[in-house]
A and B are shown apart, each in its own frame.
Chain A
Amino acid sequence: MDELELLKKDWQRNSGDYPELSYDEIYKMSHAKSSSIVKWIFIIGLLEFGFWFVISFALKAFGYGEQIKSLESNSFFIVLGILSYVILLYFLFRFYMNYKNISTTDSSRHLMKNILKTRQTVKSYVAFNLVFLIIATFYGVYFSLQHDESAKTLVETAAANGEIFKFYASFIGVTVFFLALAIGFLLLFYWLIYGLLLKQLNRNYRELKKLEV
């Protein structure tokens, strides 16, 4: 006999061997807190949106007040600032819509696709922020060198000593180093959080996709 047929016979014969839960037990269970990955993706997603939103305010509170104020009056930064809020709203809207589309009554493949789409929205927003961070940092450095008095003095001193190239090179080098460090840290954080959270889902989604090739 085919192995699965033997298993089927046993499976159907033993279908009544499970412990029977009472009405109250089932009622309590249905109202318990979920620990599904969708819930975590939603919470972490919201925290990420919150993190990037708060970071702009945090910068103002810690020491760079004056510099930020002078940057804020710069038209390039005004446009960048407005753009960032519009984009945040757009991503939040997409995130919410994708989240709402997640339904356990869909086919497994469709459900997985929708979960990954929700996650992708946050991923795109993070990528946007990283690009934004790079542009803002370089423009901020350029702006400081042009307008900040102490920075100007440093440039002049370096020029007088004939070390202007060395000065710019080290300035850019330090900026790139700290940017890379910050981005590297963030990417590691994301890789750990989402890597662990979505490992199983990604594996199963790949398996289903493989079947359709």
Chain B
Amino acid sequence: MNKELEHSFVEQLQKHQNIVHKVCRLYTNNQDAHNDLFQEITIQLWRAYPKFRGDSKFSTWMYRVGLNTAITLYRKSKRKIKTDDFDSHQFRIKAEEYDSTEEDQLKLLYQAVHELNDIEKALVLLYLEDKDYKEISTTLGITEVNARVKMNRVKKKLKTILNP
């Protein structure tokens, strides 16, 4: 592959690296796993890059490859998820920005999201990123109606986790 292609890929990825971090944030529970998944997504993005035509935005394309890597290609480590693990380093919340009630609530919310299954997490991620149901449905390969139905179920599930 030519140097120009490599250069444009690395530059674009560097600019949009937050997207990869966000996927890793939802699908991993510690820094090692985060770095590991980040690397695998980067590899898969680079492999797919020569076929990237620019029909969609680079960021949209990144979400798709990133999510596919997280829920399909990547094998999670056997380490048991300890929700405290990620709170300490991945979900660092700037204390001065929140009141403590909201901070507690957010902490619980992030923990609840981590209890969802891989597909539900994908829905949540795309929802948090303000993607519409059309994009959610094409990314996951389900109908728009089913994406809506599933999203409502996820919301209910989160409520149940938070208020057992």
Contact = CB atoms under 8 A, between A and B. Distances in A.
Interface stretch (A6-14, A84-92, A124-132): A6-14
Given A108-B68, A108-B71, A115-B72, A207 B13 contact: no
Interface string A176-192: 00000000000000000
B73 interface: yes
A107 B139 contact: yes
A26 B109 CA distance: 31
Contacts of B119: 108, 204, 207-208, 211
Interface of A: 2-4, 6-8, 10-23, 26-27, 29-38, 103-112, 115, 197, 200-201, 203-204, 207-208, 211-212
Given A7-B128, A106-B141, 13 more contacts: A3-B162, A19-B21, A20-B17, A21-B14, A26-B14, A29-B39, A37-B75, A38-B73, A103-B48, A103-B51, A107-B139, A108-B122, A207-B117
Interface of B: 6, 9-11, 13-14, 17-18, 21-22, 25, 38-40, 42-48, 51-52, 61, 64-65, 67-69, 71-76, 92-94, 97, 102, 105-106, 109-110, 112-113, 117-119, 122, 124, 127-130, 138-143, 146, 149-150, 155, 158-159, 162
